[in-house]
Amino acid sequence: MCFRKPVMFALMYHEDYNKYDLGVDHPLIGNKPRKTMDFFKEKGLLDLVDVFSPKKATEKDLLRVHEKQYVDHVKQLSKTGGWLASDTPAPVGIYEYARLAAGGSILAGEKLFDGYKCTVNPLGGFHHASKGHSSGFCFFNDIAVVIEYLREKQKLDRFAIIDLDVHHGNGTQDIYAADPTVLNISFHQDGRTLYPGTGALDMIGRDEGEGYTVNLPLPPGTATGSYVMAFDELVPPLIDQFKPEVIIYQCGVDTHHSDPLANLKLTYQAYYHLAVKVQQISCKTCDKLLVLFGGGYQSDTCVKSYHNVMCGLLGKKEYFKEEEIPDLEIDIYKDPYGSQIEDIVYELKQKLKPYWQL
Ligand SMILES: [Zn+2]
């Protein structure tokens, strides 16, 4: 068991994070970062971490990942307002706020080389943005932006992504599918039942990157016990063998049973247990964990879920529980989807066997 000392924990925040707001009728609510910070303060979590204010990512930072034409398109939309995609309005000023979000992830990455062992960017994890197009409320893929920043500045070449957002990270996959230096593990609701429709089990990367993309599509209704079982079966052995230099944890909480956009059934306690596990994997391997809060569209649920992520990362023993739902249902056969998920995990392991010991 190994937990971070609070002094080694850094959180990025800027008041302008709350201006990343896609409109009153849009599920992405602009004030989520402020609500989250207020809640952390009320619960005493901010006493345990150092808070840093990020700068905007530069155009050069964006261009390590995105095509110039795409960056120019976002810049232009930001002047006039408009639509990046049918689900993604582009409000005036979004170029600045999306760069600030990416700058938060860059600063969180830098702090890992400045004595901090775990760093958090609450406005991060925009995994639907690809090199030259995007949708799903994302403008710039800050996961790839920080990876490419660290690759250049810190001369790193082994990055692991653990993306537990309910949506498949199709943008990140597009960027890294052929790249063996990035192990990209995504758990998500089956794409046949949810946006963006991708992330099938047999997509395991291509060319030199074959085996380095790992997709676990989960049926609607998947609950905490089965989810955690699948995590234990796949994530620790893969990360152990890959030996990353940095781990990026996209901990989207739109997997919660009350989330309005998706249909998984995770509980508050799931976020605690998963964060504890990710922290342990980090301690055991590279001891550098960058956490991005990702999606979550039921505001009150989100702040409690993120609180539980923080408690898990910080090694606190107290966290929110939903009393009517068992803390961690170890017996997955009580879960109506338990045996189906076991079969999916088995099938994925068979696909990955040529590349990994599982
Ligand atoms: Zn999501």
pLDDT in 10s for each residue of the chain, 358 residues: 555 454 599 999 999 999 888 777 777 777 899 999 999 999 999 999 999 999 999 999 999 999 999 999 999 999 999 888 888 888 889 999 999 999 999 999 999 999 999 999 999 999 999 999 988 889 999 999 999 999 999 999 999 999 999 999 999 999 999 999 999 999 999 999 999 999 999 999 999 999 999 999 999 999 998 999 999 999 999 999 999 999 999 999 999 999 999 999 999 999 999 999 999 999 999 999 999 999 999 889 999 999 999 999 999 999 999 877 766 655 555 677 888 999 999 999 999 999 999 9
Q: Are 93 and 103 in contact (CB under 8 A)?
A: no
pLDDT at 329: 54
Find the 296 Cα to ligand 1 centroid distance in Å.
7
Per the residue annotation, which of 66, 127, 128, 273 is the catalytic one? Answer: 128
Active site residue 128: yes
6-352: CATH, from 3.30.70.20, 3.40.800.20, 3.30.1370.10, 3.40.50.300: 3.40.800.20
Find the 124 Cα to ligand 1 centroid distance in Å.
11
Find the 76 Cα to ligand 1 centroid distance in Å.
26
Find the 115 Cα to ligand 1 centroid distance in Å.
31
pTM of the model: 0.95
pLDDT at 331: 53
Find the 109 Cα to ligand 1 centroid distance in Å.
22
Find the 173 Cα to ligand 1 centroid distance in Å.
15
Find the 152 Cα to ligand 1 centroid distance in Å.
29
Find the 32 Cα to ligand 1 centroid distance in Å.
14
pLDDT at 327: 62
